[in-house]
Amino acid sequence: MAANDTEDRRTRQRVFQSVLDEGPITASSLAKALELTPAAIRRHLDALESEGLIEVRELAGKQAGRGRPARHYVVTTAGHDSVSHSYDELAVNILRFMEDKHGKSAVEEFTEDLVGRLRDRLGPELDKRGGTTVASRSRALAAALTREGYASSATPVAAGTPLEAMQLCQGHCPIQAVAAEYPEICEAELAMFSDYLGVDVRRLSSLAQGDHVCTTHIPTSELTRPLIHSNDRPQGGSR
């Protein structure tokens, strides 16, 4: 029985990690990715939901059948808090000390250095894999951010319409508590995204502000709209 309990806990942690990495995500997608039966995935999702670690979100435009919005799972604020952030409080206290002693400009310099170092780490991979389109560069950015611990994905929205765009989602932020105290870090990060992608981007939601995911809208205008890969288009769709 003890062995079964241990395996059950491990599987539940895998489910939680998948929601953290891929959310918002449906139960069927989780079951397929983790090779679990529908009954098993429901049991683990129900347990995680009862613990307050995940919750259901219904996404507009995503149908589960018969006109019902699809149920997607996301990690709650409590779930994010359960992920280890060992040095968050220390980092916030250091920045507060810097601001008290040297003024706001010291925090601004720190922010520029922090985001600059992230840009330098991402740079080689982005240059190698980014490609020439907004869509491909968005995917390369998401992949590179995931390797930095941001659990990111980039997917097309409204494909084949004048509102066609890419949506960059970051399901986890390693510096969430720090960014909540100092939102200029998020602003500098967003400016870095815009510089790399070559378009103006807009933050729709933010983990630092209490949302369940950081979502960045990346427009693909009339000039860039045809650059979204044909595989991203809905089945049967046409331009």
Whether 230 shows a pLDDT value over 60: the answer reads no
**Amino acid identity at 207:** L
Residue by residue, DSSP assigns 87-141 as THHHHHHHHHHHHHHH-HHHHHHHHHHHHHHHHHHHHHHHHHH--SSHHHHHHHH
**What average pLDDT does this structure show over 232-239?**
44
The H-or-E segment that residue 217 falls in is: strand 214-219
Two tokens, residue 34: 């983790």
Alpha-carbon span 72 to 74, nearest angstrom: 7
What pLDDT is recorded for position 223?
52
The top-level CATH class assigned to 1-62+69-75 is mainly alpha
Which letter does DSSP use for residue 174 in this model? Answer: T
| pLDDT tens digits for range 157-207 | 887 777 889 999 998 888 888 888 899 999 999 999 999 998 899 999 998
Cis amide bond preceding 156, omega within 30? no
How much is the pLDDT for 233? 45
Res 23 pLDDT > 90: no
pLDDT-above-70 percentage for the chain:
83
Cβ pair 220, 201 in contact under 8 A? no
What residues contact residue 61 under an 8 Å CB cut-off, 6+ apart?
none
Domain residue extents for the chain: 1-62+69-75, 84-219
Q: Are strands 165-170 and 54-65 parallel, antiparallel or unpaired?
A: unpaired
The predicted model scores a pTM of 0.63
Give mean pLDDT, residues 11-30: 88
Going by C-alpha positions, the residue among 167, 228, 235, 180 that lies closest to residue 206 is 180
State yes or no: pLDDT of 235 exceeds 50: no
Taking CA atoms, 29 is separated from 35, 134, 150, in Å, by: 10, 27, 20
* CATH architecture entry for 84-219: 2-Layer Sandwich (3.30)
